[in-house]
Chain A
Amino acid sequence: MALYGCEKSPTASQDASGDLVVRIGASAPLTGPQAHLGKDNENGTRMAIDDANAKGIMIGGRKAHFELISEDDQADPKTATIVAQKLVDDKVNGVIGHLNSGTTIPAAKIYSDNGIPQISPSATAVAYTAQGFKTAFRVMANDAQQGHVLGEYATKNLGAKRIAVIDDRTAYGQGLADQFIKSAEANGAKIVAHEYTTDKAMDFTAVLTAVKGKKPDLLFYGGMDAQSGPMVKQLKALALKTKFMTGDGGYTPEFIRLAGDAAEGSYASLPGVPLDKMPGGKAFAERFSAKYGPIQLYAPYCYDAVNVMIAAMQKAGSADPAKYLPSLADITYDGVTAKIQFDAKGDLKGGAVTLYQVQHGKWQPLETLGVAKAAN
């Protein structure tokens, strides 16, 4: 059996100038109702990559050149697995994605099978990191933490006794709603209705009318802004006077734009502390807005995810997935959204959750909770 000469790592290639080419895969819905969020993710990722290229980062003594390969997963779990396979075939060194929990969970298996590290900026479903894959990480607190905080806030701070829940039946919406219900019931509230919609619906009058019959004092929605915005508007049109609360999927300027005046007083949560309270957060927001317009939602998390990945490559002195994966697992990195450290499952350690309310047409932070609580 003949032995061939020194074999190059299959995923590290070099361009004409002899630079090390590092391919970063990214995937989010770039079409459909969540396209504005997907584009926001892509922009956050692209900005981190442009920054890294401008800085002239060295990995293992060689100048690295980063390339972005961005794919549209349409927020659809089936498409996400196809996209994941395509990124694997393109020999990416790491993946930033996906945006939704529903797409991140099935895609994670493909990345894991091929040993490619994956950092999701925004998938919050508990199930994502519970699959036991060594390659799966996230830079945002999970729904167990978020749902817990939301449930507690709804009952203790807002005094809700009769709560109605609507979710969009996606891995994210359903997961968050279930965690919320668990926490709200533990705090003595009664769930008077649990109704469902889809992540493509725009008519909620029938569901809201059914909810109205149960006379709730708070309505919780598990899902994204493309639904929660119009939902709040229709809520007001039906003269349904309840408090409205949703998770991170609703904490966007888009929510306020779609809901109009009806947005006033709505509550939402976002894992992490408010961006302008983070060192470097404000500067990031200004730089990002100047280039791409206002931050929708997860762009800062994408920016951090890329930088954490690059930091791990630098630490390991290699962009080879097998070599930098261990250093990614025990990294400590000061990002613009949080101090990033992963636990054994790949969840963010000690994730905080901040509650926001729409006041005078803008999201205003109310309170940051659960800072010290370990991820579970």
Chain B
Amino acid sequence: MDIFLQQIINGLVQGSVYALVALGYTMVYGILGLINFAHGEVVMIGAMLALSSLKVLLGLGASPLLALPISVALAMLGCMLLGYGIERIAYRPLRHAPRLAPLITAIGVSIVLQNLAMMIWGREYHAFPQLITNTPHNVGGAIINNIQITIFILALAIMAGLMAVVHRTRLGRAMRAVAENQHAAQLMGVNINRVISITFMLGSGLAAIAGVMVSANYGLAHYYMGFILGLKAFTAAVLGGIGNLRGAMLGGLLLGLIESLGAGYVGGLTGGFFGSNYQDVFAFFVLIAVLVFRPSGLLGERLAERA
């Protein structure tokens, strides 16, 4: 039982990170109908920026509790600028081009960012400094540490904050309007370019936080960490219904749980035929199943809801 509880905790922590990244995919899709495949790399850049700034700050003798928020803020700022730049350079000129064109530039941007990161930060794995004390807490036999608690609570808080922005603010109304009908929104006086830029910056800021969370949790950062993470988060977004904010959150948490329980139990249930090395397969298998039976995802692509 304690092992089961442990797998649930593992899944929820991993899933909350997926959810944060998935929100970035889903917001952009909701507004532009575009899959921003470079989003995973933005997560990586966020982790790398935070890592570099942490190293500098700690080197200067700053206290860890001060260095962490500053680094996260810098990483968010850097990623927001990056997100803005990506949209401005790679997507805006192609906004009225056939849908395939921005998809291909997205993949191009992803490759450029990955190689750029390799040139700047090198090819090796970087150890991420441990700033929050890693004391394990025992909860009914399962172990959870401060980093994991922080990740989970922070992720939930950010998601709640984002929902409030989208549903309660003027900006959120503009975002929903653009999502529903770009032309009509423009005629009503919404500055579309500004709304789209802000959407990209919001998503990229969330990506930066997710990047720091992943790196802090595993104590690792490297130049291609964004690729698989991006793919998983995209899966989570589709699972929940792409374009749907609640769907991205649900999809992320669900995907984390599926992976964790799949890796933990399927090996035993199938007598070792499907081992834990099929961890990634379970996630994609569930995705296929959902797409076959519910092509628009679990919560569907509710237009009025999408951001």
Contacts and interface: CB of A to CB of B under 8 A. Distances in A.
B6 to A, nearest CB: 5
A258 B6 contact: no
Contacts of A197: 276-277, 279
Most buried by B among A197, A213, A230: A213
Most buried by B among A35, A196, A202: A202
Contact of B127 (A205, A210, A237, A258): A258
Contacts of A210: 3, 7, 263-265, 267-268, 276
A249 B254 CA distance: 35
Interface of A: 30-33, 35-36, 39, 169, 194-198, 200, 202-203, 205-207, 209-210, 212-213, 226, 229-230, 233-234, 236-239, 254, 257-258, 260
A205 B134 contact: no
A209 B257 CA distance: 13
Nearest to B261: A206
B222 to A, nearest CB: 7
B259 interface: yes
A237 B6 CA distance: 12
A209 B3 contact: yes
13 contacts: A35-B124, A196-B277, A200-B228, A206-B10, A206-B263, A207-B264, A210-B3, A210-B276, A229-B125, A238-B6, A238-B143, A239-B138, A254-B124
B108 interface: no
A206 B7 contact: yes
A260 B124 contact: no
Contact of B118 (A31, A203, A236): A31
A230 B220 contact: yes
B277 A206 contact: no
A359 B145 CA distance: 26
B123 A31 contact: yes
B143 A237 contact: yes
B141 to A, nearest CB: 10
A242 to B, nearest CB: 14
Interface residues of B, number: 38
Interface string B114-136: 00001000011101001000101
B260 A202 contact: no
Contacts of B127: 257-258, 260
- SS class, residues of chain A in contact with chain B: helix
B136 A206 contact: no
Contacts of B138: 239
A30 B7 CA distance: 35
B136 A237 contact: yes
A250 to B, nearest CB: 13
Contact of A230 (B218, B228, B259, B261): B218
B224 to A, nearest CB: 7
A36 B259 contact: no
B50 interface: no
Contact of B10 (A33, A169, A205, A226): A205
Contact of A33 (B218, B222, B265, B277): B222
Nearest to A226: B125
B263 A207 contact: yes
